[in-house]
Amino acid sequence: MPPRTSPPTNSDGDSVITVINEDTFITLAGDSVRLELMPLGATVRRFEVRLADGSWRNIVLGAANPADYLTTCRYLGMTVGRFANRIDGARFTLDGVEYVLDANEGANQLHGGTDGFHTRTWTIAGQGSDWVEFGLTSPDGDQGYPGALTVSTRYELVPGGAQVTYRATTDAPTVVNLTTHPYFNLDGEASGSTDAHVLTVHASAYTPNRDDGIPTGEVRDVTGSAADFRAGRGFGEARLAADAEGITRNEGFDHSFVVDGEGMREHCRLTGASGLTLTVESDQPAIQVYGGEHFTIDGTQIGTSGAPYVRRPGIALETQHYPDSPNHPEFPSTVLRPGEEYLATTRWLVG
């Protein structure tokens, strides 16, 4: 783990760490990208990119009031765990022992439970001018999971974008699936619906869901279906086609796509109506694509710009393992054992 350093300063010599409403905000500022981060949930609150005319645009959704991250704006840009996505019946069996988890979405568990990692204020384990590392210890039995888990989340600027790296170790066998949960709108945060965005996903298969979002266990070829994003397609058009095919959830996509290849590779590309393009690279086996159907239009979800969000204001692109993996031995394993290290890296590049 990198050593703790003095707070970085900007070009004016001022500290880039400020305290607003008793919440700490950390800014990593580069020539073309700026990240605003929060220890609450190890969260990406703003992801700003410099445009050709020299102006800056924020391309991720975030809450104007930090307290809203725990109520109306859950998961926006936050770190989710100990297990991202859903676990059927909020239980799984490992080494012959059944573990009963906190159920926070009907009978199932979503994103680690009611008091998942997104609700925790992480420590600042270290930082430099272009990186910060957050740390968290999850005790044995936390939300029902076995083993004490030590976790770090490191955000850093890279040429043309930013990168997040997760590491974790355990003192007893457990399951782990960590991700950052950013909603992207490449035309600008609070600019409206993302239906006009074009999405390309390098996935020849996806995992169909039951009505409650739990995968059926099938890994289905995307060929000929509305879930085939390999050649790129308009997100709104694909959503309507998928709804007509009966493969959507809540009238939209909320599916895990099985990314072709192994190792660090391009998972997807997203292009806004303005022409700005985001490339997501990762070493994870899948990416969850969610269209933001839960957002309301009643003004209860206020973004960092101060404007309320409309329905489908951003597309969540979450690199991770398949949902409900602990209950599907045919899926890639999410088991972590003592002496092993969980390691996952995702890179967001903008151009």
CA distance 255 to 293: 13
The residues assigned a catalytic role are 181, 318
What is the DSSP code (8-state) at residue 15? B
Q: Where are the alpha helices (DSSP H) in the chain?
A: 235-245
CA distance 185 to 190: 8
Q: Using alpha carbons, list the distances in angstroms from residue 268 to 122, 243, 265, 277, 282.
A: 29, 22, 9, 10, 10
CB 64 within 8 A of CB 303: yes
Residue 22's contacts (CB-CB under 8 Å, 6 or more residues apart) are none
Q: Using alpha carbons, list the distances in angstroms from residue 258 to 3, 6, 205, 281, 321.
A: 37, 42, 5, 14, 9
What b/e sequence results for 185-215 when a residue is b if at least 16 CB atoms lie within 10 Å of its CB, and e otherwise?
bbbbbbbbbbbebbbbbbbbbbbbbeeebbb
